[in-house]
Amino acid sequence: MTAAPPITRIAHADVTRDQDLTTEEVSAVLALAAEVKKSPERYRTALAGKSIAMLFEKPSLRTRITFELAIQELGGFAVNYDGPIGAREPLRDMARNLDRWVHAIVARTFRQQTVDDMADWAEVPVINALSDMYHPCQALADMQTLQERFGSVKGLKLAFIGDGNNVAHSLMLNAAQLGMDFALATPERYEASQAIIDEVHAINARLGGKLVVTTDPAVAAAGAQAIYTDVWASMGEEDEAAERRTAFAEYQIDEGLFKMAAPNAVFMHCLPARRGEEVTDGVIESPRSVVFDQAENRLHAQKALLLMLMS
């Protein structure tokens, strides 16, 4: 078996947000993810003897299983902790305990501040596996999926229609880093963070992408190579579900809206999906849906991220 090629190390100590990766590092993660997917056997001992703590404040299917498999398939082992972080004991104490035991920390939290504080108090790498502001691992897997489908993604248009949430933030930041155009359609009161929008405009000024922010789903969908959506009420927002169903009623991805995209457009969703709300069954089950490719690529993108932080 041919030895694995040298792995570029990420300059930043942690990946708590998408901005922790440079343009070159985003491309390097995606290239390594493709290589790991193609030749997984070359990396089976890359993290031998390494332990990773996985902290989950939120329930999880894709994140938990793909991270645990990624760690095991790289030769390491995962230790799981479920429950609120910083409730039973101060977060800084928890972080400093973990720092003595494990080689990295993966945290899926409600608040971005929790991930940031964990990174401040722990010297080992900390990876954001989802927070209220960012979902970098999901966005990397999504970019890998688009590269597989279209080859180069530079110049493609990705439209996100729905809630201006953590997934939307991470997608538009990664799209800008890769020279893609991004269109975001959200209802009033559910817009994305203006600070992140401003960051994306700044990246686009350097790298050539375009960002359109609108309240009109048709404007966002027009000519797009990918249409992306997410649930209207995320975990922790259940008490807003009825109000959100009303606010987002015109933002459903149905067959009519999907036809406004490019003829070769794909449908994307980070899952879980609520069929009949943000997307119709016909669209998500169509041959142009790549939602399970995205889910599969969580495994490979996260392997690449672990390797570049820990190898």
Q: Is 306 helix (H, G, I), strand (E, B) or coil?
A: helix
Residues of the chain with CATH 3.40.50.1370: 18-135+298-310, 138-294
Which one of the listed residues 18, 138, 142, 181 is annotated catalytic?
138
Whether the CA torsion 12, 4, 54, 236 is positive or negative: it is: positive
113 counts as catalytic = no
- pLDDT tens for the chain, 311 residues: list them: 566 778 989 999 999 999 999 999 999 999 999 999 999 999 999 999 999 999 999 999 999 999 999 999 999 999 999 999 999 999 999 999 999 999 999 999 999 999 999 999 999 999 999 999 999 999 999 999 999 999 999 999 999 999 999 999 999 999 999 999 999 999 999 999 999 999 999 999 999 999 999 999 999 999 999 999 999 988 777 888 899 999 999 999 999 999 999 999 999 999 999 999 999 999 999 999 999 999 999 999 999 999 999 98
Is the model's pTM score more than 0.85? yes
The architecture in CATH of the region 18-135+298-310 reads 3-Layer(aba) Sandwich (3.40)
Which one of the listed residues 135, 169, 244, 300 is annotated catalytic?
135
Distant-in-sequence, close-in-space partners of 63: CB < 8 Å, separation ≥ 6: 56, 108, 129, 130, 137, 298
Which one of the listed residues 137, 142, 144, 270 is annotated catalytic?
270
Q: Is 149 exposed, middle or buried (0-12, 13-18, 19+ CB in 10 A)?
A: middle
- Listed residue (198, 197, 208) closest to 155, CA to CA: 208
Which one of the listed residues 117, 230, 294, 300 is annotated catalytic?
230
44 counts as catalytic = no
What whole-number distance in Å separates Cα of residue 12 and Cα of residue 122?
Answer: 14
138 counts as catalytic = yes
111 counts as catalytic = no
The amino acid occupying position 12 is H
300 counts as catalytic = no
Which one of the listed residues 62, 108, 244, 300 is annotated catalytic?
108
List the CATH code of the domain at 138-294.
3.40.50.1370
137 counts as catalytic = no
Which one of the listed residues 62, 269, 298, 300 is annotated catalytic?
298
